[in-house]
């Protein structure tokens, strides 16, 4: 018997198996951040998973960075998500929503409001991002958040969490990985604040801890999760000591009562690591700092996932890219079937093609 396919319970949440669909930004929302009708089909097709984590979803128009990403801050968005969670629940999976405030990883052309993108500090990321209007564009320099703005920003996550619960989600995952706003607070190269919310280790973790506590107080710690990616350099994140930063963060969070801690392994896309040392050391280093469920993503296979679960290193195994072209991924892994390769050129395009049109092996 392979534990990967066995039901389990984490933080009181009964799951039909231990396979999680990773958050995957696919840019299939309309200009007002409402998921298009075929988004429901896409998630329902993949609800053989025990748990689905939604694509990164903005908590306000100010949190948007990319074109065509969805939100959870208007009644139309909440209604669209409710039809999606209903369809996912009907097939037996649970669903969390990932909250993605992009911070400095944003371009004005991708946003519905004229305000400049905000970040802990006015540090411009190296590199460029896609805009539908003018293709690749340099990142602008963000505006540094005022200290007085931080309580309202934390409250934005609380309101979004209440909206997500109203939309039928089983919980929310705060995106503190991959270089977005919460990760920008954590990392030493993006947080130069001197107001108690930066510079020192305790200062850099403070806002993230406050947001988690505020969301947990509103919807319950058991419905609150966090995603981190120590050592991952995506979006120009270069922390001086990512394992120290994340160990301190996890020690400060109520992980015993939270739904789970989700780690994206730093070598998921590139062997280039930021001071995290050996990628194999990330989970064993963080494990003692997580008092509840630890889950992980990054090039897992059925065999590696089962081994990590059986050794107690992680409780759930998270798959990202394999779910894109294999809606029935759980069945395929279980049966040892070949996996279809995704069409990468359609990852972020606006239509159903390359999205909800991948067939299962047995229709
Ligand atoms: C198209 C695409 C979109 C992604 N979008 C997100 C996202 O919105 N939020 C996030 O935390 N990670 C995102 N990721 C990272 C995945 O969640 C996952 O951690 C990563 O792909 C590694 O797992 P894998 O090797 O199984 O694909 C994305 C990855 C891909 C390929």
Q: Tens digit of pLDDT for each residue in 15-70?
A: 999 999 999 999 999 999 999 999 999 999 999 999 999 999 999 999 999 999 99
How confident is residue 362, by pLDDT bands cut at 50, 70 and 90? confident
Whose Cα sits closest to atom 11 in ligand 1?
23
Q: Could you tell me the distance, in angstroms and rounded to a whole number, from the CA of residue 145 to the centre of ligand 1?
A: 27
Choose one of 22, 261, 295 to mutate for the ligand 1 pocket test, by most ligand atoms within 8 angstroms of C-beta.
22
Kindly tell me if the per-residue pLDDT of 205 is higher than 70.
yes
Confidence label for 313 from pLDDT (cuts 50, 70 and 90): very high
3-class SS of residue 56:
strand
**What predicted TM-score, i.e. pTM, was given to this entire model?**
0.98
Give the pocket of ligand 1 (CB within 6 Å). 22-25, 55-56, 98, 100, 175, 177-178, 227, 264, 268, 297-300, 319-322, 347
Closest of 207, 193, 194, 273 to residue 238, by C-alpha: 273
Residue owning the nearest CA to atom 14 of ligand 1: 24
Give CA–CA dist 71/73, Å, rounded: 6
Cβ–Cβ under 8 Å, residues 354 and 347: yes
Enumerate the active-site residues: 180
Instruction: Determine which residue's CA is closest to atom 4 belonging to ligand 1.
Output: 24
pLDDT of residue 236: 93
What is the rounded CA–CA span in Å between residue 210 and residue 350? 35
Residue nearest to atom 21 of ligand 1 (CA): 320
Q: What is the mean pLDDT of residues 325-331?
A: 98
* CA 326 to centroid of ligand 1, rounded, Å: 15
Residue 24 CA to ligand 1 centre (angstroms) = 5
CA of 195 to the centre of ligand 1 (A): 33
Q: pLDDT value at position 269?
A: 83
pLDDT at 271: 65
Segments of 229-320 assigned E as strands: 260-264, 294-297, 316-319
- C-alpha separations of 205 from 98, 166, 186, 242, 291 in Å: 19, 29, 5, 12, 18
Q: What is the CA radius of gyration of the chain?
A: 19
Q: Whose CA is nearest to atom 2 of ligand 1?
A: 24
- State the pLDDT at residue 67: 98
Q: 143 C-alpha to center of ligand 1: Å? A: 27
| pLDDT digit string, tens, across residues 242-271 | 999 999 999 999 999 999 999 999 888 876
Which residues sit opposite 10 in a β-bridge? Answer: 13
Pocket probe for ligand 1: among 21, 24, 326, the residue whose CB has the most ligand atoms within 8 Å is 24
Confidence band (pLDDT; 50, 70, 90) for 291? very high
Backbone angles phi, psi at 137, to 5 degrees: -135, 150
């Amino acid at each position: 018997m392979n534990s990967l396919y066995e039901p389990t319970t984490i933080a009181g949440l009964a799951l039909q198996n231990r396979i999680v669909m990773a958050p995957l930004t696919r840019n299939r929302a309309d200009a007002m951040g409402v998921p298009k009708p075929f988004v429901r089909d896409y998630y329902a097709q993949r609800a053989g998973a025990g748990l689905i984590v939604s694509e990164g979803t903005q908590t306000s128009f100010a949190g948007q960075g990319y074109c065509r990403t969805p939100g959870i801050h208007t009644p139309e968005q909440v209604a669209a998500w409710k039809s999606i969670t209903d369809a996912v629940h009907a097939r037996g999976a649970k669903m969390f929503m990932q909250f993605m405030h992009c911070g400095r990883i944003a371009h004005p052309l991708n946003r519905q409001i004229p305000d400049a993108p905000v970040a802990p500090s006015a540090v411009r990321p190296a590199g460029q991002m896609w805009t539908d209007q003018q293709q690749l564009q340099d990142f602008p320099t963000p505006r540094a958040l005022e200290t007085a703005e931080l309580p309202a920003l934390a409250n934005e996550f609380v309101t979004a969490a209440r909206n997500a619960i109203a939309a039928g989600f089983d919980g929310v995952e705060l995106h503190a990985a991959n270089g977005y706003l919460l990760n920008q607070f954590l990392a030493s190269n993006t947080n130069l604040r001197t107001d108690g919310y930066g510079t020192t280790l305790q200062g850099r973790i403070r806002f993230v801890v406050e947001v988690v506590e505020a969301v947990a107080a509103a919807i319950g710690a058991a419905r609150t999760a966090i995603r981190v990616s120590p050592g991952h350099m995506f979006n120009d994140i270069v922390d001086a000591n990512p394992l120290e930063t994340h160990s301190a963060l996890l020690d400060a969070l109520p992980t015993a009562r939270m739904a789970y801690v989700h780690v994206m392994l730093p070598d998921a896309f590139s062997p280039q690591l930021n001071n995290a040392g050996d990628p194999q050391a990330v989970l064993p280093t963080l494990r003692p700092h997580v008092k509840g469920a630890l889950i992980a993503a990054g090039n897992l296979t059925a065999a590696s996932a089962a081994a990590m679960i059986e050794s107690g290193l992680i409780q759930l195994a998270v798959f990202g890219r394999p779910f894109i072209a294999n809606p029935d991924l759980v069945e395929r892994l279980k049966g040892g079937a070949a996996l279809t390769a995704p069409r990468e050129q359609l990852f972020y395009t606006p239509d159903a093609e390359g999205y909800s049109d991948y067939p299962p092996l047995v229709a």
